[in-house]
């Protein structure tokens, strides 16, 4: 019987709380807003972030952060990425060194360009930290649709402990020692998903989206390797797996945002009509800044950045990508192996 607290009540945090409660874990869930906390308690449904899904009665819902942090072996940080620093800082006063922090937020902090686990480790240097990422829409996990995900931590024993806690017959957890790659894959795919939505909004076809996704994982890998990630990680669940599901599903808020842009709506117009966080918007800025800092070529990210922040013309962006300078498909293979043909 595991004691787990979910810190956050968005769609993903709520889905994880439901998953663990159904497994039989002792689950507490922190809800930041007291009014939402009361609503979930009374109706047994998170109508704001995960409508249509029954909240099991054995989830202890509370807006008391201290209460939720106490007596749990695992604390799952499930807030939007831009709120992780503030939330973990608030948690610090209530946490013991033997508690494991599991981050399930997908993003890169704009101001510092840090990954979520790096932020947690700075604030809580004495705690073990793990991350979970992969192709996992909250709407499907909450409904027991079979899902696979990946867990990473600095120490194998921690990753495998978290694997044991979260694994169920409907939720398969793999482990991977590459924390950098696991986190970056989960964050950066949201940028490509915005682009996939733009393609749909413009009325382009499958050929276009396949090209975008394929070249998208190339530049994700390129940036990841420059930051110390392993290339193979991006061929896994937190890389190509998460990219596929986010670029093709209407559950994806990032894809829906892109569709709105492709149809001629403004970003502010779309964001004003949803209570959900579109992580890819902030991540695009961070990735753009990281690419410049690391001198890494990321043409798709650059065009998405121009769309979001410079109000670039969408069709010109498409032309810019299609008419870039000619190159090999696998530049590194040709250059490293010295292939002559």
| Contact present, 116 and 84 (Cβ < 8 Å) | yes
Cα–Cα distance, 225 to 223 (Å, whole number):
6
Question: What positions carry a catalytic annotation?
Answer: 189
Cβ-in-10-Å burial (0-12, 13-18, 19+) of 144 comes to middle
Query: Nearest-CA neighbor of 294 among 231, 190, 222?
Result: 222
Question: CB-side exposure of 291: number of CA atoms within 13 Å?
Answer: 20
Residues in Cβ contact with 173 at an 8 Å cutoff, skipping those fewer than 6 apart? 132, 148, 149, 150, 151, 162, 163, 166, 167
Cα–Cα distance, 338 to 332 (Å, whole number):
9
């Amino acid at each position: 019987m595991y004691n787990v607290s979910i810190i956050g009540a968005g769609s993903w945090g709520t889905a994880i709380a439901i998953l663990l409660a159904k497994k039989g874990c002792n689950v507490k869930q922190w809800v930041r807003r007291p009014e939402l906390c009361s609503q979930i308690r009374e109706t047994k449904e998170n109508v704001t972030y995960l409508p249509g899904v029954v909240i099991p009665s054995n989830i202890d819902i509370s807006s008391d952060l201290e209460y939720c942090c106490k007596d749990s072996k695992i604390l799952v940080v499930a807030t939007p990425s831009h709120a992780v620093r503030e939330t973990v800082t608030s948690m610090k006063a209530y946490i013991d060194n033997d508690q494991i922090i599991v981050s399930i937020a997908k993003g890169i902090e704009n101001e510092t360009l840090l990954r979520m686990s790096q932020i947690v480790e700075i604030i809580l240097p004495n705690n073990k930290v793990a991350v979970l990422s992969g192709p996992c829409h909250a709407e499907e996990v909450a409904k027991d649709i079979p899902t696979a995900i990946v867990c990473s931590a600095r120490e194998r024993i921690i990753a495998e402990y978290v694997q044991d806690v979260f694994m169920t017959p409907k939720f398969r957890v793999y482990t991977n020692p590459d924390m950098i790659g696991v986190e970056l894959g989960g964050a950066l795919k949201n940028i490509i998903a915005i682009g996939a939505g733009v393609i749909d909004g413009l009325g382009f076809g499958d050929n276009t989206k396949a090209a975008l996704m394929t070249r998208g994982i190339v530049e994700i890998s390129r940036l990841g390797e420059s930051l110390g990630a392993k290339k193979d990680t991006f061929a896994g669940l937190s890389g190509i797996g998460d990219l596929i599901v986010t670029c093709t599903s209407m559950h994806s808020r990032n894809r829906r945002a892109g569709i709105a842009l492709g149809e001629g709506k403004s970003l502010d117009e779309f964001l004003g009509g949803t209570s959900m966080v579109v992580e890819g918007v902030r991540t695009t800025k961070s990735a753009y800044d990281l690419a410049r800092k690391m001198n890494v070529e990321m043409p798709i990210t650059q065009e998405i950045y121009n769309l979001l922040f410079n109000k670039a013309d969408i069709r010109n962006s498409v032309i810019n990508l299609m008419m870039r300078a000619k190159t090999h498909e696998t530049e590194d293979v040709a250059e490293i192996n010295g292939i002559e043909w």
